[in-house]
Amino acid sequence: MLLRRQILARKYAQAFINLNRDKLSPRSFSHLQALKDFCKLNKKFFIFLSISSIPYESKKKALDRMAKALKIEPFTQRLLDALLKKRRIHLLNIIIRDIVELYKDLAHITSFKVFTSHELEDVQKKKIINFIQTAATPNTTINTTFNIDRSLISGIRIKSKTLYWEYSLAQQLSVLKKNLYQRVGL
């Protein structure tokens, strides 16, 4: 069942990209990101939209208010309306996630998550971003988010959809532990 939903959502996302490729811009991408975040944080809102006993007009009004608040473009609003009419609004979270990923691929945008054991200064963040840009494909826009992960003990982890790099005390301890177990025969 979940796989069917994911396949259907991917088809909606691909159709959306195919129909609106010429209308998509960094501005519309930021609005799609806002919608993605809204979907993630407001699951009850979409449960409300999925309840069959609530009149369509009430659902439409609520969806229109949300779209206005998030400054959703008309072409994205048409997707929302179609999903509501077809009673597939419950797929919106997956569809928007897929649209964002497809747009990133289309626009050559790569997102990196940087985890460190402590807060970084701006100078350190710039050095890390420069390091990432040298490792990334040329002509790629880099989006970087910085997070704290105290389990690293000391060090850094950089992750993207296709790249993974880590240099931390936790990683070194894990390698030592693995080597010790191999020597002891466990």
CATH number of residue 34's parent domain:
1.10.520
**What CATH number has the domain bearing residue 178?**
3.40.30
Burial of 27 (0-12, 13-18, 19+ CB in 10 A): exposed
Give CA–CA dist 145/113, Å, rounded.
5
Of 86, 105, 124, the last residue of a domain is 105
Backbone angles phi, psi at 155, to 5 degrees: 135, -160
Same domain, 117 and 169: yes
Encode pLDDT of 97-115 as tens digits: 999 999 988 888 888 999 9
| pLDDT for the residue numbered 162 | 83
Same domain, 119 and 135: yes
Of 56, 82, 105, the last residue of a domain is 105
Residue in the block written with tokens 């402590």 = 118
Provide the domain count of the chain. 2
Give CA–CA dist 163/45, Å, rounded.
35
Same domain, 88 and 130: no
Q: Mean pLDDT in each 10-residue stretch from start to end of the chain (186 residues)?
A: 86 94 88 88 86 91 91 92 91 91 88 90 92 83 89 88 85 86 80
Same domain, 116 and 140: yes
Expressed as residue numbers, the domain containing 54 is 2-105
Cα dist. 129→106, 125, 166, 169 in Å? 22, 6, 15, 21
Same domain, 117 and 43: no
